[in-house]
Amino acid sequence: MRRRVAVARRPAIIAVLLLFALFGLPALLSLYYIDALTQVAVYSMVAAALGVLAGRVGLISLGQVAVLAVGAWVAARLLFATTQPYPVILVEAGLITMVAGMLIGLPALRLRGLYLALITLMLAGAITVILASLNFPNGGHGFSGYNGALVNIPPIRRPSIASGDPAYYRYSVIIAAIMFLLVLAHIRTRPGRAWAAIRQSEPAALAAGINTTLYKLWALALASFITGVAGGVLAGAVHYLYSIDFPTQNSIILLAVVLMGGVYSLWGAVVAAVLYQFLPALLQNWGVSADWLTILFGIGVLQVLTTAPAGLADQVPKDLAKLGRLLLRLTRRPQPAEPAAAVPTETSGVSGGGGAA
């Protein structure tokens, strides 16, 4: 009963949070933090895409930052080459990245588990080398659009309705929200069920008549599309793109952070993006080295993999609920029925988070 009420209330809570993110946060924070939050919006999309692959289908990608770089490259090239409206460019960047991701991914999907993860890492390494040599477009001519002279480099444009930083932040939050809805629409319908079956056991899914290749490719296409769109948003956010901003190891760190945030829920993607982009900005402002964060991420991965497969997004509310029950029990001492009531929720939580990350 309580659960049903919570489900009914959830869209309202999300709407309030979204409105607060759109109008409350920009009013409260300085430009420095608003820029960091734009990055959070971008990386929450990347994390959601990685969550689809890792959490829903069970395909671990160690090359998502390289896909983001491809999306950013395509978007930047189109933004310099054409005068199309920004949303059109975003869709185009997403679609081109999707095609690229599928072309690379189709042969890779023959592999499973560890081998698939490692081949994505190898492909990410290759893409990084190509981009380092090709350079990001900066208003030059030709296919690469790179002007080696490095004088009078025009910034990558933003949409006319969102040229300022707070406006662009709102713009990116809305794009991220649309992408989250896209993911949700997939999870709730046929592909989501097929993905769940594949994650549990690919041979069983095959035996049940699920076209595993189609649905795996579908997941890859969706993830590449979302990451491509995120790349387009990133291009406008930073104005200037450089290949050194997308090193291969960032894909590894991103996977670690996404696993920490939690791959089984979309909240996990937001948590991961905050960990990955907002905390470093916060620490930098406080004068604390971001290296502490890297260490924390490392410990977080080990902790998540050994004890909490569903990540922080799942674990923290559960721990808070446990803490709440504990406090309740301490304040109302003579209540022997309380611990017994706590047991069923705990066991259901364990079985819910039992899937392999």
Partner 1 sequence: MPAWSDFEPFIVSGLALGGVYALSGVGLVVLYRATGVLYLAFGAVGAMGALIAWSLTQAGTPGWVSWLVCVAFAAAVTLAYGTVFGPALAGRDPLVKAVATIGLTLVLYGAMDLLWTTSGGEARSLTLPTDNSGFSVGQILVNWTQVIALAAGVVITVATGAFLRYTKLGTAMRAMANDRVITATLGVPVRRVEAAAWLGCGVLAGIAGLLLADLVALDATTLTFLVISSLAAVLIARLRSIALAFAAAIAIGLIHDLLTPITSLTNYRDMTPFVLAAIALLVLSRRRVMTQSREEA
How far CA 176 is from CA of 37, 43, 282, in Å, comes to 12, 9, 22
**Residue 351 interacts with partner 1 (CB under 8 A): yes or no:** no
Among 185, 302, 327, 341, binds partner 1 (CB under 8 A): 302
Minimum CB separation of residue 356 from partner 1 in Å reads 5
Exposed (0-12), middle (13-18) or buried (19+): which is 234, by Cβ within 10 Å?
Answer: buried
**Residue 60 interacts with partner 1 (CB under 8 A): yes or no:** yes
Give the contact letters, 243-262, x = binds to partner 1 (CB under 8 A), - = no.
----xxx--xx-xx--x---
**Residue 238 interacts with partner 1 (CB under 8 A): yes or no:** no
**Residue 202 interacts with partner 1 (CB under 8 A): yes or no:** yes
Q: Return the range that interacts with partner 1 (CB under 8 A); candidates 37-45, 195-203, 225-233, 315-323.
A: 195-203
**Residue 115 interacts with partner 1 (CB under 8 A): yes or no:** yes
**Residue 130 interacts with partner 1 (CB under 8 A): yes or no:** yes
**Residue 210 interacts with partner 1 (CB under 8 A): yes or no:** no
Exposed (0-12), middle (13-18) or buried (19+): which is 54, by Cβ within 10 Å?
Answer: buried
DSSP 265: S
**Residue 121 interacts with partner 1 (CB under 8 A): yes or no:** yes
Instruction: Give 320-323's long-range contacts (Cβ < 8 A, gap of 24+).
Output: 321/345, 322/346
Minimum CB separation of residue 125 from partner 1 in Å reads 4
Give the contact letters, 136-175, x = binds to partner 1 (CB under 8 A), - = no.
----------------------------------------
* Residue placing its CB nearer to partner 1 in the complex, 68 or 263: 263
Output the 3-class SS for 185-197.
Answer: HHHHCHHHHHHHH
Minimum CB separation of residue 232 from partner 1 in Å reads 26
**Residue 114 interacts with partner 1 (CB under 8 A): yes or no:** yes
* Residue placing its CB nearer to partner 1 in the complex, 163 or 294: 294
Terminal CA-CA length for the chain = 30
Minimum CB separation of residue 97 from partner 1 in Å reads 19
Q: Return the range that interacts with partner 1 (CB under 8 A); candidates 16-24, 117-125, 191-199, 214-222.
A: 117-125
* Residue placing its CB nearer to partner 1 in the complex, 306 or 351: 306
Minimum CB separation of residue 107 from partner 1 in Å reads 5
* Residue placing its CB nearer to partner 1 in the complex, 112 or 188: 112
* Residue placing its CB nearer to partner 1 in the complex, 176 or 198: 198
**Residue 320 interacts with partner 1 (CB under 8 A): yes or no:** no
Report how far residue 328's alpha carbon sits from residue 320's, in angstroms, rounded to the nearest whole number.
12
Owner of token pair 């310099």: 80
Q: Return the range that interacts with partner 1 (CB under 8 A); candidates 73-81, 105-113, 275-283, 342-350.
A: 105-113
**Contacting residues toward partner 1, per CB under 8 A:** 60, 107-108, 110-115, 117-119, 121-123, 125-126, 129-130, 132-133, 201-203, 206, 247-249, 252-253, 255-256, 259, 289, 291-302, 305-306, 356-357
